[in-house]
Chains A and B, each alone.
Chain A
């Protein structure tokens, strides 16, 4: 009977080897794919066990911190946002049960401490793990000024440094308190004002006359026009065989391109756009960033492209487009506030578009800088002289045209108003601007939904308020309502 016993032991040795084989299959060979399984909540729960890196504003203010819950085995960290709704859309939120949004999502690698692959082996041995902190470019003072400027009206403000792309403020109203996202998510989601929706990056509005800056850039840079080239500002000029009206039905004669921008003459700019043609106009639009999601460190799911849309489909040269009306911001053109801020910043930066960016640097828990996020150039959009010419034209808009409400004492401001009619007496009010003209430090886009007045009346004063804070300058005249109306 001894031989079969030895055989039996051999069999069990094989079976046990099979057990070890399968254990190594799950614990080593297929471990990675198992950790990627959607049903595997361990990575999420694990992340909760280590404190997430803090998020700081530009001046060091903590805008996202952690609250420790439980103890021992159940110790976990939950996000807290000390500044409440101030940076709601830009910073976003991060909760296990609600997912992530905003910078919390796009910069998760830094904040969760998983960015540095090299240290992961050491981390596995030591249990004291912690995410890196993130210093952002967001400026509480500027953000507050933008919020106060909007004064609760639905709309958005985006302020960016032209030469670095650093975003100083991003406001979208209505906003939300990220601390309340956990308990009130469904309520916020169902809210009629869509507070979770970031209007700055996701809302597509008709840009109105602010788009004439893009048309002017194309006209100047292509060499077809100069600031003093004359164009006809006649009312009811046929554009694509349909007569086009100027604002208020005003009739202008022959005007220079500069005058046409200062007075925001529709028929003149429509003719310029029609002359340039579909392909030239679309080419310049693409150079400014239209037709694609902006290259910003923000979640793709919270970004929208700007461009000409037919039922959410982007149109291009092959589609029938009334390019004359596109040139004045009409037709099916839809833009995000972020895109318009990028347009203003490009002109301000001598024609070079910089990547818009929130992140400035990552700092390890020991205080070591682990990553510096450097300004990145996207491309030269128009050449320097065209940008200078356009700056001159835009400063006239603020000096004597539709944008006088944005004037500052001692600082020259360049800008362009926009007013897109959305119904009887209800407009999408716009203002894009940058300042100081000589050496721009800030560029911005302001928009207000369902405004009772024009862009010059409603949006330009908000822009002035933000510029005042950034440049530490004072508005010309009182801070009362703008004296001269604009378009």
Chain B
């Protein structure tokens, strides 16, 4: 099956094209001489991609050939946009990409069989929940826009939710894989607390996230991932509906009691009111203005208005939360739709991995990771385009941020491990930790 890897290598061609064209366009837009140093970022990035390809070729030869090129394409998009915003930031992002690849390789090397994770599921769950609440710990917690999403250790800022999402999916996949028989067959009144307990814990965690982290976005992401898994595990829409209703009830309750959530929703409904447009509504208003400026084809790489004459940027958080708005501004509706399309293809390949997986845990793990990944895309792009209230979640592989790059490359590694495991010849299977 060398052809799968060959397809993967060919899949990297568009990445190379995008990086070359993107960097050239940005550099040209600056009306300065083409800087050799700036172009080396692109070359360096391509080198990393080829290295990753050979690593996959050796360790996971049967893995899905499209997932990595799609992720690389997204990362290339992100790198070009970040380079366009700030050269120094692009250098850091490239460094993070190296770190992410280290984690990627480490995951693949250490975890020869993903089923080993099942043994540690409660530890993983506890660690993940702990991670989620770390930003509330005084001293290291960091409040941004009223939400507690990051921790700060010295100069390093870290968003624990990025890693926690993987841990929670691992736990849920393992847990639901075991109890799904009971949940599928049992009649609702006869299901005991023993079966429902952990589900209530998940619901409670999502609610606590709303209150303590004060972030509707990550709550929605986690709970959406959970409901998706519940549905895959049980095929019972009634359970999903009950869960969704519980989340909605909780969200509505907190929307009416917690000021922060309430504000977010009223801004979402009408961000252009004069009272808020320069204040709390500034981000989403600027996001819409940037998209309006882009039109069908956009202004071109590096040509959108970003820097203000007096310093600062007109589009806040352009490198992280609002990077999609900048993409829509510079590449237009077509470019933005292309990015969404790449995410949809990634999601399709992720679910394909789940379809091909041979056991329940593998299926649930792949489906859950894919679902939470897609949910994250929906939460942030939906926030930026005002489908839902805007919250601070990164755009996977594209946004600037170490934790985001590292976590999503680990997520990719897990998907590839499951994929390799599903496609290889059963005769040569061997399990366990390396």
**Stretch touching chain A among B149-157, B253-261, B328-336:** B328-336
| Interface contact B382-A1, CB-CB below 8 Å | no
Map CB proximity to A onto B1-42 as digits: 1 under 8 Å, 0 otherwise. Answer: 000000000000000000000000000011110000000000
| Interface contact B367-A34, CB-CB below 8 Å | no
| Interface contact B289-A40, CB-CB below 8 Å | yes
| Interface contact B309-A15, CB-CB below 8 Å | no
B363 at the interface (CB under 8 A from A): yes
**In the complex the two chains form, what is the Cα distance from A16 to B303 in whole Å?**
27
| Interface contact B387-A9, CB-CB below 8 Å | no
| Interface contact B374-A31, CB-CB below 8 Å | no
Contact check: which of A7, A12, A45 meets B309 at CB < 8 Å? A45
Name the residue of chain A whose CB is nearest to the CB of B353.
Answer: A5
**In the complex the two chains form, what is the Cα distance from A293 to B371 in whole Å?**
66
Q: Which residues of B contact A18 (CB under 8 A)?
A: 382, 387
A9, A19, A31, A96 interface centre (most CB from chain B within 10 Å): A19
Q: Which residues of B contact A12 (CB under 8 A)?
A: 344, 347, 371, 374, 378
**In the complex the two chains form, what is the Cα distance from A41 to B333 in whole Å?**
21
Q: Which residues of B contact A124 (CB under 8 A)?
A: 295, 297
Map CB proximity to B onto A230-243 as digits: 1 under 8 Å, 0 otherwise. Answer: 00000000000000
Q: How far is the CB of A99 from chain B (nearest CB, A)?
A: 16
Q: How far is the CB of B84 from chain A (nearest CB, A)?
A: 9
Given A4-B231, A5-B354: A26 touches B385 (CB 8 Å cut-off): yes
Q: Is the interface of B mostly helix, strand, loop or mixed?
A: helix
Given A18-B387, A19-B387, A42-B305: A26 touches B292 (CB 8 Å cut-off): yes
Contact check: which of A13, A27, A32 meets B294 at CB < 8 Å? A27
Q: Is the interface of A mostly helix, strand, loop or mixed?
A: helix
| Interface contact A5-B385, CB-CB below 8 Å | no
Q: How far is the CB of A31 from chain B (nearest CB, A)?
A: 4
Contact check: which of B337, B348, B364, B385 meets A9 at CB < 8 Å? B348
B197 at the interface (CB under 8 A from A): no
A15, A46, A127 interface centre (most CB from chain B within 10 Å): A15
| Interface contact A2-B355, CB-CB below 8 Å | yes
Q: Which residues of A contact B344 (CB under 8 A)?
A: 12-13, 16
| Interface contact A46-B387, CB-CB below 8 Å | no
Q: How far is the CB of B172 from chain A (nearest CB, A)?
A: 14
Given A9-B347, A19-B382, A23-B385: A45 touches B278 (CB 8 Å cut-off): no
| Interface contact B360-A27, CB-CB below 8 Å | no
B199 at the interface (CB under 8 A from A): no
Q: How far is the CB of A92 from chain B (nearest CB, A)?
A: 21
**In the complex the two chains form, what is the Cα distance from A3 to B363 in whole Å?**
12
Considering only residues 278-325 of chain B, those with a C-beta below 8 Å from chain A are: 278, 285, 288-297, 300, 303, 305-309, 314
| Interface contact B233-A1, CB-CB below 8 Å | yes
**Stretch touching chain B among A72-80, A190-198, A398-406:** A72-80
| Interface contact A74-B309, CB-CB below 8 Å | yes
**In the complex the two chains form, what is the Cα distance from A198 to B303 in whole Å?**
40
Map CB proximity to A onto B225-246 as digits: 1 under 8 Å, 0 otherwise. Answer: 0001001110100000000000
Q: Which residues of A contact B290 (CB under 8 A)?
A: 42
Given A8-B367, A70-B309: A27 touches B289 (CB 8 Å cut-off): no
Q: How far is the CB of B289 from chain A (nearest CB, A)?
A: 5
**In the complex the two chains form, what is the Cα distance from A77 to B343 in whole Å?**
41
Contact check: which of B32, B235, B381, B386 meets A4 at CB < 8 Å? B235
B189 at the interface (CB under 8 A from A): no
B104 at the interface (CB under 8 A from A): no
Q: How far is the CB of B224 from chain A (nearest CB, A)?
A: 10
**In the complex the two chains form, what is the Cα distance from A128 to B340 in whole Å?**
31
| Interface contact B235-A73, CB-CB below 8 Å | no
A424 at the interface (CB under 8 A from B): no
| Interface contact B289-A42, CB-CB below 8 Å | yes
Q: How far is the CB of B341 from chain A (nearest CB, A)?
A: 8
Name the residue of chain A whose CB is nearest to the CB of B374.
Answer: A12
B29, B285, B293, B371 interface centre (most CB from chain A within 10 Å): B293
Q: How far is the CB of A51 from chain B (nearest CB, A)?
A: 14
Map CB proximity to A onto B370-413 as digits: 1 under 8 Å, 0 otherwise. Answer: 01001001100110011100000000000000000000000000
| Interface contact B354-A28, CB-CB below 8 Å | no
Contact check: which of A19, A32, A45, A70 meets B314 at CB < 8 Å? A45
**In the complex the two chains form, what is the Cα distance from A6 to B306 in whole Å?**
41
A85 at the interface (CB under 8 A from B): no
Q: Which residues of B contact A4 (CB under 8 A)?
A: 231-232, 235
Given A23-B328, A27-B333, A72-B30: A34 touches B378 (CB 8 Å cut-off): no
Contact check: which of B303, B314, B332, B360 meets A41 at CB < 8 Å? B314
A30 at the interface (CB under 8 A from B): yes
A317 at the interface (CB under 8 A from B): no
Q: List 5 A-B contacts (CB under 8 A).
A: A5-B355, A9-B348, A15-B374, A26-B292, A31-B291
A interface with B by C-beta (< 8 Å): 1-9, 12-13, 15-16, 18-20, 22-28, 30-32, 34-35, 37, 39-42, 45-46, 48-49, 69-70, 72-74, 76, 96, 124, 127
Name 7 extra pairs, CB < 8 A, besides A16-B378, A23-B291.
A12-B374, A20-B337, A22-B386, A26-B291, A32-B292, A70-B309, A73-B306
